[in-house]
Structure formats: structure tokens, C-alpha cells
Amino acid sequence: MDRRTTPAPPAWYQIRLRFIFVLACLAGGLFWFYRHYTPAMGHGPAGPAVPAEPFAHVWREGDVLLLGLGDSVVTGFGADAGFGFFDRLADLPPGDESDMEGKCLRRVFPKLRILDLAENSTSSGEHLRNQVSYLPQQPATTRGIVVLSTGGIDLIHDYGASPPRDEALYGATWADGQRYAANFRTRLKKLLEAISARFPGGCDIFIATIFDPTDGVGDIERTNPVLRLIKPLPPWPDGLKVHAEFNRHIREAAAARPNVHVVDVHGTLLGHGLHCRDKRGPHYHAADPTYWYFVNLEDPNRRGYDAIRRAFLLEMIRVLGPAKTEGP
């Protein structure tokens, strides 16, 4: 007589342990893959030094509104809470870089108010159609300091997943890109006019140029391997030319208005993207060859935001510093 019996199925806890083990192995493998193939963010201060002397004096005693408009660069997506550049313009979070002690707008504008209307994944059209409409008319006694990042989402979306179109033109040809860039300039002109109209007491608008995570190479499809598995980006042969056209329109639109000032975020972050470790690259930084972008590639990381914060403060010192500020 055959006494063999069917093996008993594994107990529930054995199945759960195996499942957890497999998940742990997968997670560990992905983490190793990401750390091995993605350059390090680095540590310590990032970007240009900011002088302390201008922050020893009050720039304006009266009411000042610090207004944030635009996309996820202004919201600080990709950094811990409080460590986006807009937040750090106003106040220094615990654990901020020691060389920035006392260097914030709260120090020089005692009656500073803050309003951040920026939203993640928003295009220039949404900034014009939506965000400005949320901004109430300000009193004549209020001076505005406006921080604006716009146009980046227009360039990166829809990641090549759909045909290029206005406000989502990834993959566009040079001919189409010029047309979409001209539309962007029209919207930007209206946006700058609408913002200024909300401040009868005057405002200064500080607009960021659009950064290039490929460090001037244009191989956007070479984003880090983990992101490539989730959201592969097709090559964009004319991407750099279209990107430069957007930045040209930003600079020229600002030059046409005395209250609009360009902050060169593009130049500040060059050399800290996909090719930060390429010693042959034209923007290689031997002293700090580190990566200043978040895993999604379209936003900075904590050190990237530190560098952007410093670039904005330097331009604000030039425009608004104690030697330039007048009246209460």
C-alpha cells in the first residue's frame, strides 16, 4: 500500500515571510542600482557666496509682500519641508547652511508677509489663467517682491507620451518649437503686466531662467536608470535649441520692463546635472562635481535649491539692497 501523502501547504506566516523577503530583495536591488548609477548630491553650501553686510541694515520699514508664483520649483518639490528656495528666501530653517545665518528677507523687511500661490506641474498658461486671478489687489502702501518660475513645465510635458502641443511641447521640432516659444512670450508679457497691475504701490519681479539638467549636452533621455524604468524619455533632437529660445524670451521680456529682473538659475545649475561627473564637460566643477536634481530630473534637490536661493538673494541685494531702497 502506498503511504505517500500530499504535502501540506505552507502556513500563512511562511508565505508572508517569503513575500516580504522577495520585496526586500527587490527594494534593496533598486536602492543599490540607484545609488550606484546616480551621482551623489554632496554636502555643505551650494552655489555662490552671499555677503553678510547688506543684511545688517533694514531695507524697508513698511509693508512688503513676498509673493511666489509659478511651478514646482517655487513650491520646493524635491526637498524637505522648509528647504525649498522660496521658503529659505524668507526664513532660515533649522539645519540650514551655517554660512547663511542672518541672510534672509525677514531680517531686512520687518513687516514681511508671505503668499505662495505656486503649484506643482503648472504651465505658463495656468500661471496666467489661474494663479494671478487668485492674487488680490494690494494696498498702495504695499511693496511687492515677486518670485516667478515659469515655462519649465511647458518644455518637459508630456514627456513625449503624446504629440507636442502648446504648453506641453516635449519632442517638438525646431519649427514648431519656435512657434510654441512665441506663444510662451505672449503669455509671459501678459503675466508680467497682470502681476504689476496688482501692486499699485509698485513691485519687483524676479524671474528665473529655465535650468538644463543635461548640462548643455541635450541627452535628456539619459535620465537616471530607475526613473528610466518608470518614465522613459524619448530623445529630443531639437530640445536644447527650443530650451534656449524660451530662455531668450524670458530675458528679453524682462529687459523690456524696469521692474522685472532675471535670475540666472540656468547658469547656476549648469554642471550639476546628468554630466556632473564628466571631467571633459565644459561645465564640470572639479571642486564640487555633485548632482543637484531630484530623482524626477525636473526639479532640484536640497542643494540645488540652496544654490537657487543664493542666486535670487544676490539679485535682490543688487536691486533692493539698502543703497537702493527708498521710502517707508
> Domain 64-320 class?
alpha beta
Q: In angstroms, rounded to a whole number, what is the distance separating the alpha carbons of residues 285 and 289?
A: 5
Domain ranges of the chain: 64-320
The partner residues of 203 in beta bridges, in order of sequence, read 144
Query: What is the structure's pLDDT at 225?
Result: 62
Query: What is the structure's pLDDT at 32?
Result: 45
In the structure grid, which three cell numbers stand for residue 165, read together? Answer: 502641443
The partner residues of 149 in beta bridges, in order of sequence, read 70
Query: What is the structure's pLDDT at 25?
Result: 59
- Cis peptide before 158, with omega less than 30 degrees from 0? yes
Q: In angstroms, rounded to a whole number, what is the distance separating the alpha carbons of residues 83 and 92?
A: 8
Q: What is the pTM of this model?
A: 0.88
Q: In angstroms, rounded to a whole number, what is the distance separating the alpha carbons of residues 70 and 85?
A: 13
Torsional class of 76: left (φ above 0), alpha (ψ -120 to 50), beta (otherwise): left
The pLDDT tens digits of the residues spanning 161-200 come to 899 999 999 999 999 999 999 999 999 999 999 999 999 9
In 117-256, at which residue ranges do the beta strands (DSSP E only) sit? 143-149, 203-208
In the structure grid, which three cell numbers stand for residue 313, read together? Answer: 538673494
Q: In angstroms, rounded to a whole number, what is the distance separating the alpha carbons of residues 326 and 201?
A: 13
Query: What is the structure's pLDDT at 11?
Result: 61
Q: In angstroms, rounded to a whole number, what is the distance separating the alpha carbons of residues 315 and 90?
A: 15
Query: What is the structure's pLDDT at 326?
Result: 45
Task: For the chain, list residues with pLDDT below 70.
Answer: 1-38, 224-229, 323-328
